[in-house]
Amino acid sequence: MTKEHQPEKDPKEEIAGKLVTSFYDQFALNQNHGQVIFIQFLSAILAVLIGYGYVYVNTTSLAPVFEIKRTQATLLLDSYAIIHLTGTYFVASLILTLLATVVSNIGYGFRRDQNVIVNIRKAYLQDNYLPLFGRASFTASEKNVVDFLPEFNRMFVFGIFTLQLLIYASFLYAVGHFKNSPYFGWYPALAHFLYVFPVLWTVFIYLNYYKKYYWVMTDSDRFWLRDYFRNGCKMWPGKKSL
């Protein structure tokens, strides 16, 4: 059969074929990107922990408030000041908050784009979508506040939050053992609020990204928290993925 007499391909079938093959390219790209992100963020987290840990172990309970304490004979470092440990704590905690923000943003963007891709695949693959991709494995919607991020991003955010709690607990332990006042003239309640602020800010950012995710998936600006508890901690109770 000559080229002139070959039947023309159905545009929908051609697009469907490209969508199927593009899945493999997308999968490989996501895997490589995840490995690069893992190495970069792990390096940043280790740098934060090493910096905070060094100042922490070199700050004694007799540390002055503002000045480094040195031994009189050799002038070697005896203890960092309370303000140095406090400043290092805030820097470490806020860097972890920034990392959690970046990871949450990447995960939210993935879910948003995944929802568009799933809708396109359903439109062109139609009856062939379920046999290829299943009912729930590649569905971006119907995620609750715990698992709305992809597993890779969720693991990082929860890990960062756990590290922040550990750093906060270690800092409170040090504050409780200082002989000099660690509050710099503030009221203790205000000082403790400032100490826990980076942890609370991480939680706020995480919930804010869930709010944006909820708005995208429901195509509305409803108050997600009210609907979430009304639906028994589910976004769309009883609704099927497809």
Give me the chain's average pLDDT, please.
75
Our count of domains for the chain comes to 1
Q: How many CB atoms lie within 10 A of CB 216?
A: 16
**What value does the mean pLDDT take over residues 167-175?**
91
What domain range includes position 84? 9-66+75-230
For residue 124, what pLDDT is reported?
66
Is residue 214 assigned to a domain? yes
Is residue 3 assigned to a domain? no
Is residue 177 assigned to a domain? yes
**What value does the mean pLDDT take over residues 81-102?**
91
**What value does the mean pLDDT take over residues 215-239?**
60
DSSP codes of every residue in 123-192: HHHGGGHHHHH-SSTT--SS--TTTSS-HHHHHHHHHHHHHHHHHHHHHHHHHHH-SS-SSTTS-HHHHH
Phi, psi of 12 (to 5 degrees): -65, -40
Is residue 236 assigned to a domain? no
Is the per-residue pLDDT at 24 higher than 60? no
For residue 241, what pLDDT is reported?
35
Is residue 191 assigned to a domain? yes
Is residue 173 assigned to a domain? yes
For residue 237, what pLDDT is reported?
42
pLDDT, greater one: 58 or 120? 58
Is residue 4 assigned to a domain? no
